[in-house]
Amino acid sequence: MQPSKNGIRRLVVALVFITLLLPLHVFANGKGFFAIQFTWDNGSYNPEYKVGVNFTKGSIISKNFKEITAKNNILIAEFSPGDYEIESLEFTGGDLYGQKLTLDFKRKITIEDGKITNGGLVFIGKGSQKNKKRHEIYFLTLNNQADLQWYLQNKYVSPNVSRTSPVQTAWEFTKQETIDRVIAFFEKSYVERETQHPQKGVKYLYGMLGMLIKLQKDQNGTVVGSQRLHTGTYRQVQSSQSYQGKKIVDLGQGHYLYGPDEDLQPVKYPEGLTTDSQFKFIGNNKFLVVDGNFNIYVSEGKPFQWKKQDDFHRKYDPYNRPHISFGANHIYIFTYHIEDDWSLLRAPYDKVQFEAVEISPEIKKVSEVQETQNKLVIGPRTTNFVKKGAFIHVQDLNSGNWELVRAPRGDCGGLYVDSKNDNRFQAVCGKLVYISEDAGHTWVLIKDKK
């Protein structure tokens, strides 16, 4: 029996409709990528805000979707090749409490197969107040090519993004002279604030748009001069510490600078990282990198001459990533959930060579690791019952013996061991704070954090 013409027509219409509803990438011959980064002054917007980018893909039926990122982070999103439009930006989180703040930011982008279309770093500024309720909002688009290339070369992004993927700009960036004026404005405001309210011991100021400012102060702590150091980045400086004439500068997302003030250079990561990684500065030209698969690299002596440690490689588990703890005499790498005989590794500072630590068979979870001169403390491991104290395992490093003590409550998620008196423990249990003077055997409530 032959189907009727009307039946065939209805079938064709149904197939077309289903096709339009399927994800775009199902029919794409290739994949392209869009990179973008956002920043703003903390005085204008909460630094805890997340930024949502609302996209539209034009077709017979428009397709709307959103990508979300945090302040300063480089976002690399995967797209099917084609033309897209950014409709708006949305601030969420922080003090918005479930609400959203929508910003009008319209841009057109073209995604090409195998290429990264780079929108640069978008600075979101709040200008003069138009009326009693609203401020004028402006956007600067900065060429962050150097930061993006560092990220692609040194950090694991995804299996679909190649380190050699060609990069093209999404749109014309703001003129450099305008950007320089904005940076100079904020630099001046940072220095003026420190001049008016000097902070004891502060020798450097740091902030957004790659600013790291060296201060000159007299014997009274008064600012008498300043110099903006060359960082070669528009990333916000998160922190900066000095050690033996060298400086380690944290730019976020694992991006660091290292060197003397006059020659800060990006940290080069080892090759062979298979998942996202952690970078730690140990001191004395020693560095440590650990990725999610427990690939461990150490650089000692000349910076960033990486050597891989014994093969502790394991299957990647996003819920059981490695954690790093610095003790009195050792560096520790551990995972929360014990999966094998080396869920806890240890290496001395003088020769950073990791080996497995034999732990008590009673230890079912390594929630935190603290080491003093005499003790290795693991825990607390919380319980489901408030009256049944969380587990704390303590090893006497002189004898090697393990002891199990209990926190005052089952919900004690924080434990702090005094480095000068390692019999003194402090436990944080919800809003309650307890102190023990006998290494966890007895506890006294000292504070109710209401």
Dump pLDDT digits (tens) for 233-263: 999 999 999 988 899 999 999 999 999 999 9
pTM comes to: 0.81
Note the pLDDT of residue 257.
95
Looking at this protein, which amino acid is placed at residue 213? I
Residue 23 has what pLDDT?
A: 41
Task: Please report which helix (H) or strand (E) contains residue 186, including its range.
Answer: helix 176-196
If you compute the radius of gyration of the chain from its CA atoms, what whole number of angstroms results?
A: 27
- What number is the average pLDDT over the span 114-135? 81
Q: Which of the residue ranges 204-213, 342-351, 358-367 has the most confident prediction, judged by mean pLDDT?
A: 204-213
Q: How far apart are CA 100 and CA 323, in angstroms?
A: 34
Q: Is the pLDDT of residue 191 over 60?
A: yes
* Contact criterion met (CB below 8 Å) for 64 and 90: no
Given a cut of 80, whether residue 291 has pLDDT beyond it is yes
Task: Measure the CA–CA gap between 315 and 290, rounded to whole angstroms.
Answer: 14
Residue 334 and residue 369 in contact, taking contact as beta carbons nearer than 8 Å: yes
Dihedral over Cα of 98, 133, 38, 324: its sign: negative
Instruction: Dump pLDDT digits (tens) for 303-343.
Output: 899 999 977 888 888 888 899 999 999 999 999 887 766 78
Res. 225 pLDDT band, cuts 50 70 90: very high
The pLDDT value given to residue 127? 74
Distances (CA, A) of 421 to 330, 372, 373: 18, 9, 10
Whether the CB-CB separation of 293 and 276 falls below 8 Å is answered with no
Write down the pLDDT at residue 29.
Answer: 55
In this prediction, residue 132 carries a pLDDT of 52
Which tens digits make up the pLDDT trace of 16-75?
Answer: 444 444 444 333 458 899 999 999 999 899 999 999 999 998 655 556 778 999 999 999
Sign of the C-alpha dihedral, residues 326, 332, 335, 336? negative
Alpha carbons within 13 A on the beta-carbon side of 36: 26
Give the chain's mean pLDDT.
88
Instruction: Measure the CA–CA gap between 244 and 233, rounded to whole angstroms.
Output: 24
Let me know how long the chain is: 450
Delineate the domains of the chain, giving CATH numbers in brackets: 24-173 (2.60.40.3540), 175-268 (no CATH)
Rounded Cα distance between 69 and 280, Å, is: 24
Three-state secondary structure call for residue 16 = helix
